[in-house]
Amino acid sequence: MAATRTRKGEESRSRLLHAATTEFARLGYHATKVSDIVAAAGLSQAAFYLYFTSKEAVFTELIAEFRGRLQVLADAGKLATHLSPESVPDQVRANVLALLQLLMADATLTRIALFLAPDGESIRDGIAALIMANLQANQAAGIIRPDLDVAVGADAMVGLLERLLRRWLKTGEGAPESLASAAADVIMYGILNREVL
């Protein structure tokens, strides 16, 4: 079904996939009609079913693709490194940046996977779990406050990233570097002015 034999087929399939990404991101899953996708791809409705079993199938494939990319990052250990005490802040910033860059690399796909898919929540939960594991390890190492509820800490990190990402997806404003560093700082240091209090 999904197997393509010729180069031309390959190309049609990827055109459909791309069109689907665009349309889903633009309209959401339900509002996107198969006819929208094929129109954007310049193909017929029937052609769609040459490459995908159903509308849901493309969507699923898109999500799977996203999950795959995320897995690569997770496997690379970027999200679960032990921090060496010397340069903690910089490492945290770097980690956040890596994640953010991955998510920003394919904006439309990210939008679909994280914010439009029914199981977007579970993906975000997966990220949160990774981060939580990281916090736990570093809490044991004494770098994270011992009284911190790590689940809440992870939620703060992920929740903040979610919102920053949404803003960025909408406006496109802000460089990954500055966003990552601002986010890391808030999470690391909190918002209070300790000098005064």
Partner DNA sequence: CATGAATGAGCGTTCATTCAT
Partner DNA sequence: TATGAATGAACGCTCATTCAT
Residues making contact with DNA (CB under 7 A): 4-6, 8-12, 32-35, 42-50, 53-56
Shortest Cβ 6–DNA spacing (Å)? 4
191 binding a second copy? (CB under 8 A): yes
Q: Which among 191, 183, 177 is positioned nearest to 163, based on CA atoms?
A: 183
- 131-150: which residues touch a second copy (CB under 8 A)? 135, 142-146, 148-149
119 binding a second copy? (CB under 8 A): no
Question: Tokens representing 65?
Answer: 């693709």
Helix (H, G, I), strand (E, B) or coil at 11: helix
Which residue is listed with tokens 């693709």?
65
71 versus 122: smaller Cβ distance to a second copy: 122
Shortest Cβ 196–a second copy spacing (Å)? 5
51 versus 66: smaller Cβ distance to DNA: 51
> DSSP letters of 53-74?
S-HHHHHHHHHHHHHHHHHHHH
Q: Which among 179, 181, 185 is positioned nearest to 163, based on CA atoms?
A: 179
Which of DNA, a second copy, none sits in contact with 1, Cβ below 5 to 8 A by type? none
